[in-house]
């Protein structure tokens, strides 16, 4: 039995992701691969595929994960992200700490 093609919604999602990656400087092949993987993972999470890996189902959605795991930029995590994590860990004196001090406190 041939595999059914993506739905029109998934086709639009693929194009949107691909165009966004290309506009941010990714080459076309990389953008196509990332977009296809993202769409396939979303299909698995939504129960639209026959088989799905455990991580496809149990991991957080790719849209949310991209925002949460994008700490590797030039300056790393923002001051607000560091302060929120320090708050979650109940680190004392966090409100008076600089970004560098927060990074050191969180690395302990």
Q: Tens of pLDDT along 52-82?
A: 777 777 777 766 766 666 655 556 788 888 9
- Using DSSP's 3-state secondary structure scheme, residue 23 falls into helix
Of 37 and 53, the one with more pLDDT: 37
Of 74 and 87, the one with more pLDDT: 87
Classify residue 24 as exposed, middle or buried by CB count within 10 Å of its CB (0-12, 13-18, 19+): exposed
At residue 32, does pLDDT exceed 90? yes
Closest to 82 measured CA to CA, from 67, 63, 92, 97? 97
Give the percent of the chain with pLDDT over 90. 43
Distances 40 to 4, 59, 94, 102 between C-alpha atoms, Å = 13, 14, 41, 38
Confidence label for 2 from pLDDT (cuts 50, 70 and 90):
very low
Domain spans of the chain? 1-70, 72-108
What is the pLDDT, as a whole number, of residue 1? Answer: 32
Q: What is the mean pLDDT of residues 28-40?
A: 91
> Tell me, what DSSP letter sits at residue 53?
-
């Amino acid at each position: 039995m041939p595999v059914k093609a993506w739905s029109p919604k998934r086709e639009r999602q693929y194009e949107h992701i691909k165009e966004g990656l290309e506009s941010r400087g990714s080459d076309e092949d990389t953008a196509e691969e990332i977009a296809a993987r993202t769409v396939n993972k979303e299909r698995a999470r939504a129960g639209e595929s026959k088989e799905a890996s455990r991580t496809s189902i149990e991991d957080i959605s790719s849209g949310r994960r991209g925002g949460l795991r994008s700490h590797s930029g030039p300056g790393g995590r923002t001051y607000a992200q560091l302060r929120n994590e320090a708050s979650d860990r109940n680190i004392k004196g966090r409100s008076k700490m600089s970004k560098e001090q927060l990074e050191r406190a969180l690395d302990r």
